[in-house]
Amino acid sequence: MNRSRIAIAVALLGIVVAVGWSARPHTETQAERVDRITSELRCVVCQGLSVKDSPSESARQMRDLVTQRVAEGRTDDQIRDEFRASYGDWVVLSPPVVGWSGLIWVAPLAAVLVGLAVALRRLRAPPATMPEPPAAAVAALRERVAREEALDLPADAR
């Protein structure tokens, strides 16, 4: 028991150290910035590929443009806005939360909330009960049961 607790504690410690290490302050190089920005932009001649991942000539030219803009000291937003000005919001792989494209983010969340609301409502609702049968019907049923039970009795018991 003690061993397994120690193993769990070591594993948790490992996770905390790994998360802390990955989240440590790190100055991004220009090449890393270009990679990050191009991975967020859609290749305009491909099917679902980013500018970073596409081997096409168009994507290469766009990577060159991003590299130049990064070297010029433009901000991420300025570079993305330049692409948006030419190709619209479509060119950004993660559409902005504002405007109509925000529906893409809001709709799944709304669906989950509606589903949760329905599930909670069902859980809180009292269990369904059968309606009480009329007294006359109950009496008739009891009488019938008694009659049938009397018929089933052995001969010496009658």
Q: How far is the CB of 39 from other proteins (least distance, A)?
A: 18
Q: How far is the CB of 128 from other proteins (least distance, A)?
A: 15
Judged by beta carbon, residue 61 or residue 75, the one nearer other proteins is 61
Contact 78, 88 (CB under 8 A): no
Q: How far is the CB of 44 from other proteins (least distance, A)?
A: 5
Judged by beta carbon, residue 76 or residue 89, the one nearer other proteins is 89
Tokens representing residue 84 in the block: 């948006």
Q: How far is the CB of 28 from other proteins (least distance, A)?
A: 25
- Nearest to 66, CA basis, from 96, 94, 26, 39: 39
Judged by beta carbon, residue 16 or residue 118, the one nearer other proteins is 118
Judged by beta carbon, residue 31 or residue 45, the one nearer other proteins is 45
Using CB under 8 A as the criterion, which residues of the chain lie in contact with other proteins when the complex forms? 44-45, 57-58, 61-62, 64-65, 84-88, 90, 114, 118, 121
Distances (CA, A) of 100 to 55, 82, 148: 31, 20, 72
Per-residue 3-state assignment (H helix, E strand, C coil) for 58-117? HHHHHHHHHHHHHHCCCCHHHHHHHHHHHHCHHHECCCCCCCCCHHHHHHHHHHHHHHHH
Tokens representing residue 30 in the block: 């220009």
